[in-house]
Amino acid sequence: MFPESPSGCSGIRNKKPGVVAEINENDYVDSSSSLKILNYSVFESGVKVDLTKLLEDRAIKGKKITLKIYAKGISEGSKLYAAADIRSKFSSITKENSVALENKWKSIELLKLDIPEDAQELTLDIAAEHNGEIMIDAFTMTSN
């Protein structure tokens, strides 16, 4: 499960107000747990994951990367929202995507990102829609 992965992902930085995020050990894809996100706030909301360590640990500065995740919807018509924020000394780039989910685990390509050579911070927001409930697991990053 990616929020606790030792592979350079330093974990969930915070969850937003109006969100219940909990580890689910009964339904998962690869590692005996998944992250269940229930959003009862007025807006799309979820968790923020700090991926900054991957900039150096995986040597992705100046490269194109693809972020994938396994996800499934719990509530009818669930949607997953993803936003990556890449910060450097003089600029900030945000890339967003939304995906309709089914009630079965499915591999989803979240985002393709061009990481600047001078990138200093990389974060990923994963959110469910208002009154939505989603589960996520098996985060992967590939370098192109």
**End-to-end CA separation in angstroms for the chain:** 23
Share of the chain above pLDDT 70, in %: 89
What pLDDT digit, counting tens, does each position of 59-115 carry? 999 999 999 999 999 977 899 999 999 999 889 999 999 999 999 999 999 999 999
| pLDDT above 70 (res 13) | no
| Domains of the chain as residue ranges with CATH | 2-143 (2.60.120.260)
Look at phi and psi of residue 11 and say left if phi exceeds 0, alpha if psi is from -120 to 50, else beta. left
Contact of 23 with 33, CB cutoff 8 Å: yes
The pLDDT of 35-55, averaged and rounded, is 90
Task: Please report the pLDDT score of residue 11 as a whole number.
Answer: 53
pLDDT at 132: 92
Length of the chain: 144
**Does residue 121 surpass a pLDDT of 80?**
yes
Sheet with 133-143: list strands edge to edge.
19-24, 34-39, 133-143, 64-73, 106-114
Mean pLDDT of the chain: 87
Confidence label for 144 from pLDDT (cuts 50, 70 and 90): confident
pLDDT of residue 10: 42
